[in-house]
Chain A
Amino acid sequence: MRVPILKQGPYLIASVQSALTDADLLQMRDDLARLVGQHRSHGVVVDVTALDVLDSFAARTLRTMAYAIRLRGAQMVIVGIQPEVAFAMVQLGLSLPGVDTALDLEEGLALLNRKTSEDHASEG
């Protein structure tokens, strides 16, 4: 199932609704990398609240996605990792170093706001 991507102000929101196949993940990665440029978005929130499992491929893909988006000049935050999923990922060594995380969509957007204002502030 293709992950729907919404534009919310300067941000894009990719809301994963169900378990994803590897192809779906790659498709989302490509879509986000393309849409960030297209919409001149400052940030991306990937909401995985609905997922109760994140395997190594998914974790790696999310990490590379974050790096690619940062290279495209935006920030990416992963939100909604459930407690069980988080601990399982840590135990598997998939701790997503260098990737921002937040509790939920709201926190994610708040984090993006802080980050982008910092950027603007430093620019300013």
Chain B
Amino acid sequence: MQRSDDRAGRSRQRRAQDELQASQYARSLIEASLDPLVTISPDGKITDVNEATIRVTGVAREQLVGSDFSNYFTEPKKAREGYQQVFAKGSVTDYALTIRHGDGKLTDVLYNASVYKDGRGTVLGVFAAARDITAQKKAGEERSRLAAIVDSSADAIIGKTLNGVVTSWNKGAELMFGYAASEVIGKHISIVIPPQLRDEERSILERLSQGHSIQPYETTRVRRDGGLIDVSVTVSPVRDADGNIVGASKIARDITAQKQASQYARSLIEASLDPLVTISPDGKITDVNEATIRVTGVARDQLVGSDFSNYFTEPDKAREGYRQVFAQGSVTDYPLTIRHKDGELTDVLYNASVYKDVGGNVLGVFAAARDITDQKKAETELQKAHSELELRVQERTAELATANESLQGEIAERRRAEQVIRELSTPVLQVRDGMLILPIIGILDSQRARQLTEQLLRAIRDNRARVAVVDITGVPAVDSKIANHLLQTAEAARLMGATVVLTGLSPEVAQALVSIGVDLSRLTTVGDLQGGIADADRRLGYKVTREGETALGRRA
């Protein structure tokens, strides 16, 4: 009995020891688990926790044990339902809960729990193991975010195998090509490639599978409705975990609008009537518009790449021009003459400036020429019109000059006529050699008197007269001024060697002259013209006799 007791005691002891060892082993396994493990009593109190539970809740073991299990979740009610389910069903799997850490951090977990019983089958509590699925969940979120990005992209993003079979097809692709993802996935990509471009696709996939990188390129694709679209395509290899290329992802961007914009710009350039040209820094033509082709008569492909200066009458000046553009950034109104290949010349003014890439590097010169031939022609015509006008003005001036001359002639003629009339008004008559008679009739004013003097003195010289008889019988009145004038005339005549005999002073005139004190004593005066002539005859040595009288006289 003693021994058996001892044996029994020893076996009990060993069993206890074994149990202890087993329990320690189990404990260490539990502690070693990275998943939070917990045992819960039927009334919902925590009876044991492992280290992972302490970490995930941030609560010390002593506080955890005995506290309510549901306290540590964002949804305590759901947690309670969970372990009640375990008691009811015996176990739950992947029951989703969120643990709240003491500092507020949340941990998404999936609970797997089952009841544990004693040897007799009595339920002692619930053993619950939580699996932290935060990382997993995050990855899922990331994946769906990426998927959303891909889906929401306006660009078509297409996955395909190296054989060209479509594996993915985003919303952008659906919109761009008009095929739903379900329609194309599993089909060959060639349904969106125009027949003439299928080789291109093949060669790209080939190069890609050989590991070559593909530069983004522009090409044309066909829509479901048969319409063509311009796209810019970027193709990238898709690799598996080992780095093997297993497919291609293709991003296609619709550049129809962009192309249209570019086409629009191009058409603007082409539509310009001015010759436009771009020149590389080494002076070669890189692009031209239609107007340039017209003005040079050279085809576009021949122009492009040729030397810019070739097409001008003064190549050196042209070169100097684009050198200036590179040096100064621009030139304005640079005059040059373009020579058409047929020899026709066009005068132009060049306006040019450098054009740069986004980085500010000079790519070349953009030069626009303005045809000023018409302008020059207009100028020439203007000048012609001007000179014609001048010619006409000259002609007119000449006409006027002629008219003026003839007018002058007429005036002179008239003067002569007037002179004749004046002279006739005071006639100077020669009656004998050396004798002049001036019969004056009418009013003798100072102008007529002066004229009388001039005529008398000139006649004395011209006729070599020695005596002049001035008869004023016909003059109604003589004032002192006229009288003095007559005196002066007589003296002037004397200086010329001639004598003036004044005749015909009426009684009134004689008395008037005396009363105003004019001294005519220095003047030879005779009563009448007859007496005056007789006096003159005597002075000149003439002797006038009547034939009969003479004969009678002789006889007597």
A residues with CB within 8 A of B: 78-79, 81-87, 89-91, 95-96, 101-104, 107-108, 111
Q: Is B291 an interface residue (CB 8 A)?
A: no
Q: When the two chains form their complex, are residues B497 and A102 in contact, meaning their CB atoms are under 8 A apart?
A: yes
Residue in B464, B466, B492, B498 whose beta carbon sits within 8 Å of that of A90 in the complex:
B492
If A81-B495, A89-B492 are given as contacts, then 14 extra A-B residue pairs at C-beta distance below 8 Å, sorted by A number, are A78-B495, A83-B454, A83-B458, A83-B496, A86-B495, A87-B454, A87-B457, A87-B489, A102-B497, A103-B461, A103-B498, A107-B497, A108-B497, A111-B497
Residue in B453, B457, B464, B497 whose beta carbon sits within 8 Å of that of A101 in the complex:
B497
What's the minimum C-beta distance from A40 to chain B, rounded to whole angstroms? 26
A–B pairs, 18, beta carbons within 8 Å? A78-B495, A79-B497, A81-B496, A82-B461, A82-B496, A83-B457, A83-B460, A86-B457, A86-B495, A87-B488, A87-B489, A87-B492, A91-B488, A95-B495, A101-B495, A103-B465, A103-B498, A104-B464
A103-B496 contact given A82-B461, A86-B457, CB 8 Å threshold: yes
Residues of chain A contacted by B497 (CB below 8 angstroms): 79, 81, 101-103, 107-108, 111
What's the minimum C-beta distance from B491 to chain A, rounded to whole angstroms? 5
Q: How many angstroms between the C-alpha atoms of A107 and B433 in the bound complex?
A: 13
Main secondary structure of the interface of B (DSSP, over half): helix
Which residues in chain B, 442-473, are within 8 Å of chain A measured between CB atoms? 453-454, 457-458, 460-461, 464-466
Q: How many angstroms between the C-alpha atoms of A33 and B521 in the bound complex?
A: 34
What's the minimum C-beta distance from A53 to chain B, rounded to whole angstroms? 14
Q: Is B352 an interface residue (CB 8 A)?
A: no
Residues of chain B contacted by A89 (CB below 8 angstroms): 492, 495
Q: When the two chains form their complex, are residues A101 and B491 in contact, meaning their CB atoms are under 8 A apart?
A: no
Residue among A82, A84, A95, A104 with the most chain B CB within 10 A? A95
Q: How many angstroms between the C-alpha atoms of A79 and B498 in the bound complex?
A: 11
What bracket does the count of chain B residues touching chain A fall in? 10 to 19
Q: Is B493 an interface residue (CB 8 A)?
A: yes
| Nearest residue, chain B, Cβ from A94 | B495
A101-B492 contact given A83-B460, A87-B457, A107-B466, CB 8 Å threshold: no
Residues of chain B contacted by A95 (CB below 8 angstroms): 491, 494-495
A90-B461 contact given A101-B495, A103-B466, CB 8 Å threshold: no
One digit per residue, 1 when the CB lies within 8 angstroms of any chain A CB and 0 when it does not, for chain B 376-401 equals 00000000000000000000000000
What's the minimum C-beta distance from B499 to chain A, rounded to whole angstroms? 11
Residues of chain A contacted by B464 (CB below 8 angstroms): 103-104, 107
Residues of chain B contacted by A81 (CB below 8 angstroms): 495-497
Which residues in chain B, 328-357, are within 8 Å of chain A measured between CB atoms? none
| Nearest residue, chain A, Cβ from B456 | A83
Q: How many angstroms between the C-alpha atoms of A116 and B454 in the bound complex?
A: 33
Q: How many angstroms between the C-alpha atoms of A83 and B488 in the bound complex?
A: 12
Residues of chain B contacted by A82 (CB below 8 angstroms): 461, 496
Smallest CB-CB A-B distances: 5 pairs: A83-B457, A102-B497, A86-B492, A86-B495, A103-B497
Q: How many angstroms between the C-alpha atoms of A111 and B498 in the bound complex?
A: 12
Q: How many angstroms between the C-alpha atoms of A78 and B495 in the bound complex?
A: 8
Q: How many angstroms between the C-alpha atoms of A111 and B494 in the bound complex?
A: 13
Residues of chain A contacted by B466 (CB below 8 angstroms): 103, 107
What's the minimum C-beta distance from A85 to chain B, rounded to whole angstroms? 8
What's the minimum C-beta distance from B509 to chain A, rounded to whole angstroms? 22
| Nearest residue, chain A, Cβ from B462 | A83
What's the minimum C-beta distance from A30 to chain B, rounded to whole angstroms? 24
